[in-house]
Each structure stands twice: as structure tokens, then as C-alpha cells.
Amino acid sequence: MTTTPESTSSFTPPNGVSVSGDSGVAPSTLLSLRGITKSFGAVEALKHVDLDIPAGQVTALIGDNGAGKSTLIKAIAGIYAPTSGDIFWEGRKVTLHTPRDAENLGIATVYQDLALCDNLDIVQNMYLGHEESRHFTLDEIKMELNTKRVLSELSVSTVQSVRQLVGSLSGGQRQAIAVARAVMHESKLVIMDEPTAALGVSQTAQVLDLIKRLASRGIAVLVISHNLVDVFEVADRIAVMYLGTLVSSGPAANYDTSSAVEIITTGGSRSDVAASAK
């Protein structure tokens, strides 16, 4: 359950999240990064990254191996503390000390290994760490009904029974359960690192559909992908990283495959992209 307030006027920070000041960030922007830098000893993995993530849109984060994409999402997910820079959530500056702080704000991260338990069924995975209890016993009926409701709202129709062990699901179905779990706990931002990397054609299509449905429900989605076909299919916005620097960002319509590849590989923006996207 998120503790994020409906409006900034009644804002009370969740435990461990410090809040201060007025950022001047536009209210439609859910998450803003300003000057985020992260060093690992001599390696500067992130260099003064500025990025705005709007609600209800899919932002694709692209870049070559080692560009800093995973490090950036780990800073947003409360895993790495930035060396310097500020994170603004709904216009307020926040400091995320732990992944739980990010989760409390409504930030859900679906990692490639998914962190699902194979030996538990779908309902148990959906509620892991968030179990509903009634009269000191787990409310199995409520959990099962909620699981069915969320899966049907997301049009996840290929799963035969919510009492099926997650270990028996296909890669695409597992991805769908991980995403549904994030949605059920009222996330406002869902971050996905390479969600389709291990999937076949039809499973990829299902996951891309799911990503679009999340955005149409008003959720902000930040997705990392090396597959530009997938990126252009789902992204409303594109952000390109190169050697730790965010070198270009803007509406997906301002990019095409060749301009995206050029920016990914050289770090330079072609003038037509740079003019409208930066």
C-alpha cells in the first residue's frame, strides 16, 4: 500500500523519506531527476543526469552496454544513493534511503530476474510481504478475488488458475504477474529492466500490450530495452544514455531507428533530433 498523498498540501513523508522545499518542477511531471551523479570509486556511472518522467506515458531508457541505465533505475528505486543531485517526486524533493522508501512512494521495479517465488502460487506471489489478514488469519478469499480482478483488468487472460505455481508459468506469464503485482499495490511508477529480453514473439507482444495498458491507466512506465523495435512500439518518450550522460530525450516521434542508433553509438544528437528532442 502506498502512503503517497493525493495532494502536496497534505503531504506527509513516508518513514525514512525526507522532503523539503518547493522544486519549481511542473506538476504533471511525476518524477524529476536533477544533476544525478553516481560514482563507484573512480568510475563515474552517472554524470549530472536530468530527466523528467510524466504520468500516463511510457518512457524508454536506451543506450549501449555500460551506459548507466541500470544504475539510474537503481537510484530511482532506492538501491543506490546518488553521489550528488536531487530527486523530485510529485514536485517535492525526496531522499530514498532504501527500496522500501521508493515502494512507499509508489515506485515499483520489475527486475529481469523478477524476484518471484517459483514454489508459491500466483496469489501468494501477488501478496508476498503485503498479505491481507482478517481475525488474525490470512484473508485468502479477498486475496484471490483481488488477484483475479487485477489480472482481468490488465487483460491477462492466458493464466488458467491463480492457484497455479509461478514456477509452472511461461516467461511472458511470469512477467505479467510481476507487473500485475506492481499494479495491485497501487504503484504510480513502474520501472522495468529489459522486460522482453528473454521472451518469444507472442509473449513479447503480450508484455508490450501490458505496458501500454499500464500507461493508459495513468501509470508512468520507465522501461529499459535494447530492442528498438519494442521501444518504438511502446514508447511515448525516449531518453538516451551514453557513457553515464543523458545525451538526448524527447517525444518518441522525434526519433527514428537510425537517429536513435546514431545517438546510442556516438553520443551525439543529429541536428534534427537535437532541435526538437533535447
Ligand X SMILES: Nc1ncnc2c1ncn2[C@@H]1O[C@H](COP(=O)(O)OP(=O)(O)OP(=O)(O)O)[C@@H](O)[C@H]1O
Closest CA to 178 of 225, 135, 214, 133: 214
Of 68 and 106, which has the nearer Cβ to Mg ion? 68
Closest approach of ligand X to the CB of residue 63, in Å: 5
- Euclidean distance between the first and final Cα of the chain, in Å? 36
Q: The dihedral of CA 249, 62, 72, 130: what is its sign? A: positive
Of all residues in this chain, which one has the CB nearest to Mg ion in the complex?
Answer: 70
Residues in region 70-129 near Mg ion by CB under 5 A: 70
Find the radius of gyration of the CA atoms of the chain. Answer: 19
Residues in region 35-74 near Mg ion by CB under 5 A: 70
d(CA 209, CA 207): 5
Of 47 and 237, which has the nearer Cβ to ligand X? 47
Binding mask 59-78 for ligand X (x = CB under 6 A): ----x-xxxxxxx-------
Q: Can you spell out the DSSP letters for the chain?
A: -----SSGGG--PPTT-EEEEE----TTEEEEEEEEEEEETTEEEEEEEEEEEETT-EEEEEESTTSSHHHHHHHHTTSS--SEEEEEETTEEEE--SHHHHHHHTEEEE-TTTT--TTSBHHHHHHTT---EETTEE-HHHHHHHHHHHHHHTT------TTSBGGGS-HHHHHHHHHHHHHHTT-SEEEEESTTTT--HHHHHHHHHHHHHHHHTT-EEEEE-S-HHHHHHH-SEEEEEETTEEEEEEEGGG--HHHHHHHHHH-PPPHHHHHHH-
Closest approach of Mg ion to the CB of residue 194, in Å: 7
Judged by beta carbon distances under 5 to 8 A according to partner kind, the member of Mg ion, ligand X, none in contact with residue 67 is ligand X
Stretch that binds ligand X, among 58-66, 86-94, 181-189, 260-268 (CB under 6 A): 58-66
Binding mask 212-251 for ligand X (x = CB under 6 A): ----------------------------------------
43, 117, 128, 141: which one contacts ligand X (CB under 6 A)?
43
Stretch that binds ligand X, among 13-21, 40-48, 167-175, 229-237 (CB under 6 A): 40-48
Of 19 and 197, which has the nearer Cβ to ligand X? 197
Of 23 and 245, which has the nearer Cβ to ligand X? 245
Judged by beta carbon distances under 5 to 8 A according to partner kind, the member of Mg ion, ligand X, none in contact with residue 91 is none
- 40 touches ligand X (CB under 6 A): yes
- 27 touches ligand X (CB under 6 A): no
- 91 touches ligand X (CB under 6 A): no
Closest approach of ligand X to the CB of residue 270, in Å: 21
Q: Which residues bind Mg ion (CB under 5 A)?
A: 70
Q: Which residues bind ligand X (CB under 6 A)?
A: 40, 43, 45, 63, 65-71
